[in-house]
A and B are shown apart, each in its own frame.
Chain A
Amino acid sequence: MELFTNQVLAGIATGAIYACMALAVVMIYQAIDHLNFAQGEMAMFSTFISWQLMQWGVPYWAAFVITLVFAFFGGIAIERVLFKPLAKAPILTNVAGFIALFAIINSSAGLIWDFTIKQYPTPFGSAPFLGSQLISTHQAGMIGVTVLMLIGLYFFFQYTRIGLAMRAAASVPESARLVGINTSWMIALGWGMASAIGAIAGMLIAPVVFLEPNMMGGVLIYGFAAAVLGGLTSPLGAVVGGFLMGIFENLAGTYIPGVGNELKLPIALALIISVLVVKPAGLFGRHIVKRV
């Protein structure tokens, strides 16, 4: 039983990483209706910016805020320059665009900061949290920040005019335009916010997985899976999905014999697919009704 609780705790700790990433994925899905494959790379690039700032002697929290601002405007810039022209192109062409963006950011980061693994500081410290060996104060901090972000986003979307406008632009663009919402800028804003959330996720994850241009590869896969598991239309679902994903993965690694590190991911994915077969819109997702 002790083993079980410990594994669940460790799962929650890794799950926090996935939850962060899944939240960013869902944010951009809400705004543009596509899964952004370059999301992880955008987060990685922002994290490198903050690292560079700290190398230049900027204190952690100042670097944190500057990076958020950079990520926000960077996200908007990417949408305006690269993806606005593709708004009318077929969806699959857009997906190819994400893959291209992925290649560009990954390769540029590799050239600027090279591929060696870098240490990244944590503001929360890495002592054991409340005396538990499995969960450190950093991981607890990470869970805290994720929950705070979730609450913040909830209030933003539910109680502010601009949040309402963004929701309207995402769900019924035509009607939103008729009531005077600038839907094109709402999409750009969605990109900016998703990029900033991704940057937060990146800066929280970096102390755990270490900083390097490919650090997001594995995390993003889990993030996507978590977002899909929770239902792509629900930010709360994304966070819950992230934690479940972490727990799944740890329990599968511990209790199913013959599952090494290599088979953890396929097993976690297989579990998710079985969930999806029963609930095709994810755990918390809204079932989308199509008009014929």
Chain B
Amino acid sequence: MSAVEDVVEGHEAVEAVPKRAMTLGTGTSVVVLLLLIAVPLFAKNFVIFQLTQLLYLGLAVLALNILTGGSGQFSLGQSAFYGIGAYVTAVMMEQFNIPYFLCLPVAGVVCFGAGFLFGQPALRLSGVYLALATFALATAMPQLLKLNFLEKWTGGVQGLVVTKPDAPFGLPMSQDMWLYYFTLVVVLAIYIFSVNLLRSRSGRAFMAIRDNEIAASAMGVNVALYKTLAFGVSAAITGVAGGLSAIAVQFVAPDSFTITLAIQLFLGMVVGGVGWLPGSIVGAAFIIFVPNIAEGISKGLSGAVFGVLLFLVIYLVPHGARQVAILGQQLAGRLRKN
């Protein structure tokens, strides 16, 4: 409306997180890992199922975190890639009888392609405009999955039922427990890959783009390539998470992959701390358990209670779980000095 708007100071959408602050220390990692291995041995099947859910949703949040926290691009379309991954896995398992562990890499590759292609038009957009474009993808996906000519494979509106795999080699484990450990291995592998990715040349390129696109291109970073690459990697990881969810829930239907899912993943990222990879699991815990807690407090007002809890979290720790971790670290450091 006015001429002053022409020059606006670069307003950082995503704050710059140094790459060392993106991960956990070795000691803490080992403790968390041991906990993740030990807990299911003492838990009921339903709890194990919830933990599995925690892991694969955490993985999906991690994927968004790489995209937003790493390369500074924002996406509301993660539910679309999650849905593609889930459907690829389900269709391959049920219609073509391919073993589940082979379906996941395929889901990842398909989603990488989809993400990379979608990254092309998204290249010219940033901020709100990118949010709208990805949002369009998220709203289109359930409709696309319902299309008539795909119904032969996808089962249309009805969806597909997926059989739960048994533990292999006659291991004395329930299906839920086996699936938990399987998920844990996949998630760990991807977590380690992501940490290394962000520490590599490509990771530094992502962060340079996030912090200042113009400066990055002046330093010789191929902005277009790395931006689409970030989209592709993020989509691939989301797709694997979707595939894991299809196996764990034993069911896929178009309406499980709506914009609501994308919003949940977004909330998970904010609560976990944008750009802090271990926070993804905290964020996933928030989106799984807090709605249940809210429902427990008041049935009729569960949405309002959820909103109030969310407000509390963002007032207390606007930078999410990362802030808590940093505080803890400082406290530990002070104790060590004394």
**Chain A residues near B (Cβ < 8 Å):** 30, 33, 35, 82, 85-86, 88-93, 95-97, 99-104, 106-108, 110-111, 157, 167-168, 171-172, 221, 224-225, 228, 232-235, 262-263, 265-266, 269-270, 272-273, 276-277, 280, 282, 286, 288-292
Contacts and interface: CB of A to CB of B under 8 A. Distances in A.
Contact of B7 (A91, A99, A262, A289): A289
B300 A99 contact: no
A292 B215 contact: yes
A92 B301 contact: no
Contacts of A272: 132, 136
Contacts of A232: 128
B4 A234 contact: no
A289 B128 contact: no
Contacts of B212: 292
A288 B14 contact: no
Contact of B10 (A100, A221, A286, A292): A292
A280 B124 CA distance: 7
Given A96-B266, A108-B301, A272-B132, 19 more contacts: A33-B11, A90-B274, A92-B269, A92-B270, A96-B270, A99-B307, A103-B307, A167-B1, A221-B135, A221-B139, A225-B132, A228-B132, A233-B1, A233-B5, A235-B1, A269-B135, A276-B125, A288-B8, A290-B8
5 contacts: A82-B311, A91-B13, A96-B310, A107-B303, A171-B5
Contacts, number: 161
Nearest to B15: A90
Nearest to A271: B136
Residue among B7, B300, B304 with max Cβ neighbours from chain A (10 Å):
B304
Contact of A100 (B14, B125, B310): B310
Please list the 6 inter-chain residue pairs (A to B) with the smallest Cβ-Cβ separation, ordered nearest first. Answer: A107-B303, A269-B136, A104-B307, A266-B140, A89-B318, A103-B307
Interface residues of B, number: 57
Interface of B: 1-2, 4-11, 13-15, 68, 74, 121, 124-126, 128-129, 131-133, 135-136, 139-140, 143-144, 146, 212, 214-215, 263, 266-267, 269-271, 274, 300-308, 310-311, 314-315, 318-320
B271 A96 contact: yes
Nearest to B142: A262
A97 B314 contact: yes
Nearest to A114: B300
A103 B303 CA distance: 5
Contacts of A269: 132, 135-136, 139-140
A92 B69 CA distance: 11
A276 B132 CA distance: 10
A160 to B, nearest CB: 13
B308 A100 contact: yes
Nearest to B319: A90
Given A92-B14, A263-B143, A101 B128 contact: no
A270 B136 contact: yes
A35 B245 CA distance: 31
Nearest to A29: B128
Nearest to A111: B300
A271 to B, nearest CB: 10
B8 A289 contact: yes
Contacts of B306: 100, 103, 107
Given A92-B270, A266-B143, A290-B8, A111 B301 contact: yes
A234 B270 contact: no
B323 to A, nearest CB: 11
Given A92-B274, A168-B4, A288-B8, A100 B300 contact: no
Residue among B6, B136, B267, B306 with max Cβ neighbours from chain A (10 Å):
B136
Contacts of B266: 92, 95-96, 99
B10 A291 contact: yes
Residue among B68, B269, B303 with max Cβ neighbours from chain A (10 Å):
B303
B124 to A, nearest CB: 5
B307 A157 contact: no
A243 to B, nearest CB: 18
Contacts of B133: 273, 276
Nearest to B308: A104
B6 A289 contact: yes
A177 to B, nearest CB: 14
Nearest to B126: A280
Nearest to A154: B1
Contacts of A99: 263, 266-267, 307, 310
Contact of A103 (B128, B300, B310): B310
B314 A100 contact: yes
A178 to B, nearest CB: 13
Contacts of A289: 6-8
A243 B187 CA distance: 47
Nearest to A263: B143
Contacts of A33: 11
A272 B130 CA distance: 12
A217 B304 CA distance: 17
Contact of A266 (B124, B139, B263, B301): B139
Given A107-B302, A269-B139, A85 B129 contact: no
Contacts of A89: 314, 318-319
